[in-house]
Structure 1
Amino acid sequence: MASERVEDEHFEEGAEGEEDDQFIDPNDVLIELGDEGDHAMYEEYEGEGGMDGEGMPEEEIVWEDNSTQHFPNHKGSVFAVSTHPSAPLAASGGEDDLGYIWDIMTGDELVKLTGHTDSVTSTAFSADGELVATGGMDGKVRIWRRVGKEDYRTWEFLTELSGPDEVMWLRWHPKGNVLLAGSNDTTVWLWQLPSGNTMQVFAGHMGPVTCGDFTPDGKRIVTADGDGTLIYWDPRSPTPVFKLTSSDARFDLEGITSLAINPASTLAVVGGASGGVRVVSLSKGEVVGALAGHKEGESVEAVEFVELAAAGPGVAPPASGGVVVTGATDGKACIWDLNTMRLRATLEHGDAVTSLHHLPSPKAHLIVSASVDKTLRTWDARTGTLVREHKGHQGPILQAALGLGGSVVVSAGDDGVCLVWPTE
């Protein structure tokens, strides 16, 4: 398939002479570091109800709900939720083959996003907020656009994109209307909007493409699959810049389940089905670190970079290498200092961690974790202390997103409901 040339402002080359890797010394060797005995910083909540003389509860448990808004319109599990970059909007998708755009301040349904014939597993707003995409298990990617310059409540269907067998995830370019999708059939698709033209089809994976994203500078793409392969792409070429596979024993993660890219676009951190985490230099195309804090065999479901300043007098911030948080099915969220490749703190949930999100500056030290234990929690990543617990779901939380500049968190639940809370 012929490729359409990507606009230069989205994918221009970096300046020559840039430092290859400003965080990891070239002489660093792969170091395997274990959990150094960090204990849980939050003990599981226990109810206060007593027992009567026959060992029965004295009274029924009252379900706690401290959310500020809810959206109950889905008829089945809600798999995906995303938020508008500026307006009080969320887009959710679910088991009922539907997506919705709804108001996170009022809970009102604004638009029903129809046309899918199987579960909607991905939703995403474009960087400028003018477009929203839904992706489904039916392989369809459907695009809606905002109508009118002043009214964020009115949207119309624009076009349907085809190509993938089953859409695993969607990502918009950080600066332009270019959409990236990973498929269950080992392919990765790149489209230009609003035309809907296919710009590139990337082939090179051997398993379902489980995760991927643009680098924050918008110049490259990183994708990974369930077979354990990571590929670094130039969007203008169907040929990989480099590829790492499980044939390298240092990179054998028994399938890659999650990834994140640092703000400088120089490092990728990937999590695996085996519980392992690897740090990859994107300039060198090689593994430069291994992080071992999750229980073996527990899948790493979420990775998120955070920016830390000093937490207060006597508490030093990490050096320039950065900090990353990994969350897994063992119920842990591990905070890592990438300068030393050491564990800073361990955060605890009662069940699997499904997603992680950091607030924007000046509160970038705060992270929100979502869990199968039916709660979300806001933490101070500088100290590992719990800031706030968010309750209200009666089933596992499958995805979450920050909205309104990070002031609220919106969740998607297996109980068929989306909820909204203040993050602090």
Structure 2
Amino acid sequence: MKMNTPPVSPDPVMEGENEDIDIGDIEEVIELDDNTDLNEAADRLIGPSEDEQIGDSEEAESNTDMAALIFSKHKGSVFTCCISPTGSIAASGGEDDLAYVWDIISGNIIFTCTGHKDSVTQVCFSHDGTLLATGDYGGYIQVWKLATSTKIWEFEIGDLGWMTWHHGSHVLLAGTEEGEIWMWLVPQGNTRTFPSFGTASQCGTFMQDGKRGASGYEDGSVRVFDLKSGQVLQQWGGETTQAGSVVSLATHKDNTLVIAGSIDGSARLLNTNNGKVSRHVLAQGCGSSQLAWHPSEPILFSAGLDGVSRSYDARSGEPLAKYSGHSQSVLALDIARDGSVLLSSSDDGTVRVFKLT
């Protein structure tokens, strides 16, 4: 007998042999022959296990597009995105050397920021929403007046790592791959520089008091410095803060806590009052490109390299929600000031708008 020959049928004289079979009860007919794989046939009959069903369900959930709006005007990866203080306008910049300003409800383009000769990697609105700064990887920075859709200021530095506005004035702060940090009063152009520590400045921010700045570096260090004197007030070495380079910094509204994230998805909470590393907050196994605080709640948002953004309880590190729809890595995200909207941009060439409330 061949190994895959079906067994001999049982004695045809058996109880219930005359009972009718409802053809509707048959879910699948599997015809067996000498080439049939019995293990595969059994799997088809038995169906997936409970663990497999859960896995399939989670995969389906991660593939569900939860976006309320998709902006797809860019050609190539979209490296940066932000929401205006009013919450009605968004900006994004990408591999196509362009930045777009667009309506966050309709997706209609308001105006296009041209003139860059490299990928636009930074866009950010001023605190009052009147100005937009756009910067490309090569270090060319332009500032646009939204009311007239015109450029009012420009400057060029080394390869740009990050850029952000002051919380209460038209002061722009930026860091470079060479490790220098620049600060300007816009559009007057008053300029100040802070020295390099021999490693790339990959991310940075103003502290909430507006008197201090913070930067995360390629060697894993984080420094908080006085904007007036330039003095370093706190410093955490690479081994103390991160296993790898720091790619994201976000300050809490309490003016004390800074969350520092690395590309592997790990994050630590730093206390700028006493210099302590409070605890390991979260670990996103897929890797993360950016972290952001909710404007009013103890919630952290993480941009996942698996194409999904996630929110976490900052007190416990417990996951709260997922925001899926991108088909490739999420490269940047932003949260509206009222906490109602999450904006994310991706390697898939789109920017997606997600409703939080």
TM exceeding 0.5 = yes
* CA distance 1:112–1:384, change in 2 (3 Å): same
Matches within 5 A, 1:348-387: 348-361=283-296, 364-387=297-320
Larger radius of gyration: 2
Contact 2:341/2:355 (<8 A) preserved: yes
Partners of 2:58 and 2:72 lie apart in 1 by 29
Which structure 2 segments of 5+ residues have no match? 1-53
Deviation at 1:382, TM superposition (A): 3.7
Q: Residue in 2 aligned with 1:285?
A: none
Question: Does residue 242 in structure 1 map to residue 236 in structure 2?
Answer: no
Moved more, 121-130 or 366-375: 366-375
Partners of 1:198 and 1:221 lie apart in 2 by 17
Contact 2:217/2:247 (<8 A) preserved: no
Partners of 1:199 and 1:49 lie apart in 2 by 51
Matches within 5 A, 1:144-293: 144-147=144-147, 155-162=149-156, 164-195=157-188, 197-226=189-218, 233-237=225-229, 240-242=230-232, 251-253=236-238, 276-277=240-241
* CA distance 1:413–1:224, change in 2 (3 Å): closer
TM-score, normalising length: structure 1? 0.63
1:46 to 32, 47, 55: 55
Partners of 2:179 and 2:282 lie apart in 1 by 34
For the residue of structure 2 that corresponds to 1:142, the secondary structure is strand
Q: Residue in 2 aligned with 1:313?
A: none
* CA distance 1:62–1:380, change in 2 (3 Å): closer
The percentage of aligned residue pairs carrying the same residue is 32
Q: Residue in 1 aligned with 2:98?
A: 98
Partners of 2:85 and 2:356 lie apart in 1 by 16
Partners of 2:212 and 2:257 lie apart in 1 by 22
Which structure 1 segments of 5+ residues have no match? 1-44, 51-59, 148-153, 246-250, 254-273, 278-293, 308-319
Of structures 1 and 2, the one scoring higher in RCO (CA 8 A, sep 6+) is: 1
For the residue of structure 2 that corresponds to 1:406, the secondary structure is coil
Contact 1:67/1:391 (<8 A) preserved: yes
TM-score, normalising length: structure 2? 0.73
C-alpha RMSD over aligned residues: 3.3
Deviation at 1:252, TM superposition (A): 4.0
* CA distance 1:324–1:161, change in 2 (3 Å): closer
Contact 2:268/2:277 (<8 A) preserved: no
For the residue of structure 1 that corresponds to 2:73, the secondary structure is coil
The answer to which structure has the higher helix fraction is 2
Partners of 2:324 and 2:61 lie apart in 1 by 14
Q: What are the Cα deviations for residues 231-283 of structure 1, in whole angstroms up to 9, with x where unaligned?
A: 5544445xx323778xxxxx541xxxxxxxxxxxxxxxxxxxx6x41xxxxxx
Contact 1:189/1:198 (<8 A) preserved: no
Q: What are the Cα deviations for residues 140-185 of structure 1, in whole angstroms up to 9, with x where unaligned?
A: 10010122xxxxxx522222122x1111111111111111111223
Residue 354 of structure 1 aligns with an amino acid whose one-letter code is S
User: How many residue pairs align between the two structures?
Assistant: 302
Partners of 2:78 and 2:162 lie apart in 1 by 15
